[in-house]
Structure 1
Amino acid sequence: MVLAAGEVSPGLLGFVVVAALGFALYFLVKSMNKQMGKIEVPHEREFEDDKAK
């Protein structure tokens, strides 16, 4: 493919950067879901019992 004067193409480097950002985002979301699963949220009854004391 021949580019005309003044046209710009992202090329391989652009693809690699976007792919790396995609992989990083995937692993960050996976890690976030793991951490969110560790959070224990009290039920309303427990919260009301503690409030009454």
Structure 2
Amino acid sequence: LYKWLKDEKGGMLGSAIKWNFTKFLVGRDGKVRKRYAPTDTPESLSKDIEAALA
């Protein structure tokens, strides 16, 4: 799962993950919708999560 997430949505460092708190939002279709930095707060993800659930 970890390798698949990295390969699906690269970040500023490509597929590498700099720190262990990188977050991924996976849609109902099983595709990675977005990747978030370790510094992104859970609250900052709420609009994207709500859109994915709509």
TM above 0.5, yes or no, is no
Higher strand share: 2
Per chain length, whose mean CA-contact separation is higher, i.e. which structure has more relative contact order (CA < 8 Å, sep 6+)?
A: 2
Give the helix-richer structure, 1 or 2.
Answer: 1
Range class of TM-score, shorter chain: under 0.3
Given the two structures, how large is their TM-score scaled by the length of structure 2? 0.23
